[in-house]
Chains A and B, each alone.
Chain A
Amino acid sequence: MTVTAPPAVSRRRRRTDRRPPVFLALPALAGLAFLTLPLAGLLLRTPWGQLPARLTAPGVLDALRLSLLTATAATVLCLLLGVPLAWLLARTRFPGRSLIRALVTVPLVLPPVVGGVALLLVYGRRGLVGGWLDSAFGVTLPFTTTAVVLAEAFVAMPFLIIAVEGALRGADPRYEEAAATLGASRWTTFRRVTLPMVGPGIAAGSVLCWARALGEFGATITFAGNFPGRTQTMPLAVYLALEQDLDAAIVLSLLLLTVSVVILAGLRDRWVGGLR
């Protein structure tokens, strides 16, 4: 009896551990259904027979290429500007820092269309910066591929900044002090100690940022317009197709979904997996 008792106790305990309480399990299942049902609907309605023809229709691959290109360019831009900004927010103290942190996250809560209007007002031909760019360099930003990148970066950068700032806050700044006592300059310390230590956070932030940029719609269509081959990214193409041909919209959506899932899954295993 005494010999068999311990396994019985542990088995019982394991069984209760395994079964989640109903008040959590039910909403969890509902949430899962809510998120996956639309995707299933998309798959069910896909005109599989027409797929090859639809995918090779003129403009589809152009839109895909443009989407991948601009999302990647926007992510690079966000990294170049966002990581230093995140460092500033996490590692330094200055008056108005909390205000700046709030400002940085504004694009998160701003409707993207409003963001696009704001971008247009600043970088448009008559805008604050755009007017100067036009008169000084003859550069016009709106309705160009550059504008797509800017719109995507504007909307996606907060995702990167929040992730990197969190990683920096979690990283012990005393490692940077240790580097300084070993004779490392601020730049060497940043490059050889800070960056590697927050690497997983930067990777996770980049992935979020890239995914957000890839799906960007509102700011892009407002600031960059919808010109096939130049500013028409996949979400814009889906929207346009929806007006004319539902099947085309479904195929485009499926393509966008597949590409982003494949790329994110691949990155997750290689980089973000290191987080756990």
Chain B
Amino acid sequence: MTIRRRADPDPVPDPGPAAALDAYLVVRRAGFTLDLRLTVAAGEVVALLGPNGAGKTTALRALAGLQPLHAGHLRLGDRTLDQPEAGVLVAPEHRPIGVVFQDYLLFPHLTALDNVAFGPRSHGVPRRVAREAAAGWLDRVGLTGHARRRPRELSGGQAQRVALARALAVRPQLLLLDEPLAALDARTRAETRAHLRQHLAAHTGVAVLVSHDPLDAMMLADRLVIVEDGRLVQSGDAATVTARPRSDYVARLVGLNLYRGSGDGVTVTLPGGFRLVAAEPQRGDVFVAFPPSAVALYRQRPDGSPRNSWPATVSSVARNGDRLRVELAGPLPVGADVTAAAAAHLDLRRGERVWATLKATEVAGYPADPDRTILGGSQASDGNSSPGGNPGEHRGRDA
């Protein structure tokens, strides 16, 4: 029996077949409403990505049961965890969850081992067995030999691993991570990210993580859910989201120029009246996006093939990696990336007048209504994305 226990480091009962998450989270607060639909398949890792104050952490707390829903529902498999209309609310301690908190919240008076054993013990596992299991989890996260340390004796990366082990030790069906890497310095962060990724891949249940760092979210998650102002703005894998942003926030994150306009053939008319020529024909309410590197700058009006060219004024020049990011004011406010040599050659300074060109082939257009891509139809929709009608808005905020 003892040998059997040693072989199986998980004395907490097996959670059973992995269950999918089906949630409609509505939480109202003064001046803020979270209204978020979220479905996650078993084994899938979803990242809630959004700016500070978007409601990501509130959503996570609602999933954990630390914040009751005001409306909507939360189901895990066939079990309802929260549904105000039906009067159902399962307390956090009775949910099959594991949470990694942003600042880990390791119990300062307990050793690393006892922190990890805390969950199994709370689930009724005898102390000795729980400690054996905890030692097994510390092994798995690479912290063998740190069992007797107190949280204050651990480095940030080690504390993060203990927090992960503690959350996994209860064998959660729903693993929740709140900014799991935010408290780490850059070097530890990359290492911990890779480590966390392994464990998330091995997790058979649902995993939801919250991040405001696009790199973390893209590296760790199978799917991104962009949340802004309490609402879902965009959902999809990293490639889709980065190629086809649907809000200024995402466009800024991935470094694209994004506009919304009205398509008529290859020409897209922006609200200010500027006409942009795209690669593919577009119809109706569309987004157009292009990378800053696609914008070329000239002293004189250029001849030749670019379908888009317009006069502009330099409003700022700033270093961006090994290039310079030039913000341009004019009929189409854009960001353009140029090499330092080109900038010197063009003598780019604030207030200088230049000509900007953009090849049509660099301009990606896609319907503003996300359903239309799939359905191929042209259903009218208010759209859950709201980047606003002013195409220059986000550029102005950038400057």
Which residues of A come within 8 Å of B, CB atoms? 172, 174-175, 177-186, 188, 192-193, 196-197, 199
Quick check: B92 and A180 within 8 Å, CB to CB?
yes
CA distance A177 to B57 in the complex (A): 14
Chain B residues within an 8 Å CB radius of A185? 93, 122
B108 proximal to A (CB < 8 A): yes
Stretch at the interface among B99-107, B293-301, B339-347: B99-107
Residue pair B122, A178 in contact (C-beta under 8 Å):
no
Cβ–Cβ contact B123 & A180, under 8 A: no
Mark contacts of B83-100 with chain A using CB atoms, 8 A cut-off: 1 yes-contact digit, 0 otherwise. 000000001111101110
Instruction: Give the distance to chain B from A180, nearest Cβ to Cβ, in Å.
Output: 4
Contacts of A174 in B (CB 8 A): 101, 105
- How far, in whole Å, are A180 and B108 apart by their CA atoms in the complex? 16
Q: State whether B166 touches A182 (Cβ < 8 A).
A: yes
Q: Are B122 and A184 in contact (CB under 8 A)?
A: yes
Cα A75 to Cα B349 in complex, Å, equals 76
**Majority SS of interface residues in chain A?**
helix
List CB contacts (< 8 Å) of B105-124 with chain A.
Answer: 105, 107-110, 118-119, 122-123
* B101 CB → nearest A CB, Å: 6
Query: Of A177, A188, A199, which one neighbours B92 at CB under 8 angstroms?
Result: A177
Q: A177-B66, A178-B101, A192-B118 are in contact. Are A183 and B108 (CB under 8 A)?
A: no
**Bound CA span A177–B66, Å:** 7
Min CB distance A28 to B, Å, is 35
> Beyond A181-B99, A182-B166, is A188–B105 a contact (Cβ under 8 Å)?
no
Contact of B118 among A177, A182, A186 (CB under 8 A): A182
A185→B99 CA distance, assembly (Å) = 16
Which chain A residue lies CB-closest to B92? A180
Most chain-B Cβ atoms within 10 A of its Cβ — which of A172, A183, A193, A199?
A183
In the complex, which of the residues B66, B107, B123 contacts A183, with contact meaning CB atoms closer than 8 Å? B123
- In the complex, A197 Cα to B151 Cα: how many Å? 13
Give the residues in chain A near B101, CB-CB below 8 Å. 174, 178
Jot down 15 A-B pairs with beta carbons below 8 A, ordered by A: A175-B105, A177-B105, A178-B101, A178-B107, A179-B107, A181-B93, A181-B98, A182-B93, A182-B98, A182-B119, A183-B119, A184-B118, A186-B93, A188-B122, A197-B108
Residues of A within 8 A of B94 (CB): 183
A136 to B261, CA, bound (A): 86
